[in-house]
Amino acid sequence: MKTIAIGADDAAIDLKNLIKRHLEEKQYEVLDYSNDAQNDRPMYPDVAFSLANAIKDGKHDRGILLCGTGIGVAIVANKVPGVRAAQCHDTFSAERARKSNNAQVMTMGARVIGPELAKNIVNAWLASEFEGGGSTAKVDKIGFYEQACSAK
């Protein structure tokens, strides 16, 4: 069984719970990096940073982050060295995020897409694998620039 990390801020808790159930129905183990407690509203930078570090440390192969737009969590996750997060609001971008960019983290916006589309996007992303080929040099170049920036 594959384990998928998931996390959301308070703007995306309902969509996160729907996606979590969807993944569990597909026999995935889901580890939740958000906190649903009404009195402890999770902030997307904390959730995204925690999940992205778990990806970097090899605890999960893939993670899904949700906030109002999907933008904030993508920005934070991409701050973690070695993590490639892609904002996806359609099935084509979800496929390309994996096939061309080897993104381990997908982000979505609960205020941007509806529940059925979100499930289809997750399905497309999970069904896709990195194709390598001409994209390998590009993904390697991303790592090169990441290293160059962290060496400064």
Q: What is the pLDDT of residue 64?
A: 98
Instruction: Indicate which residue of 4, 5, 52, 67 is catalytic.
Output: 67
Contact 93, 124 (CB under 8 A): no
Contact 100, 117 (CB under 8 A): no
Residue 30 has pLDDT above 60, yes or no: yes
Q: Is 67 a catalytic residue?
A: yes
Residue 19 has pLDDT above 80, yes or no: yes
Q: pTM of this prediction?
A: 0.92
**Binning pLDDT at 50, 70 and 90, where does residue 38 land?**
low
Helix (H, G, I), strand (E, B) or coil at 130: coil
Residue 21 has pLDDT above 90, yes or no: yes
Helix (H, G, I), strand (E, B) or coil at 22: helix
**Token pair of 21 as six digits:** 């159930």
**Token pair of 63 as six digits:** 């993670």
Residue 37 has pLDDT above 60, yes or no: no
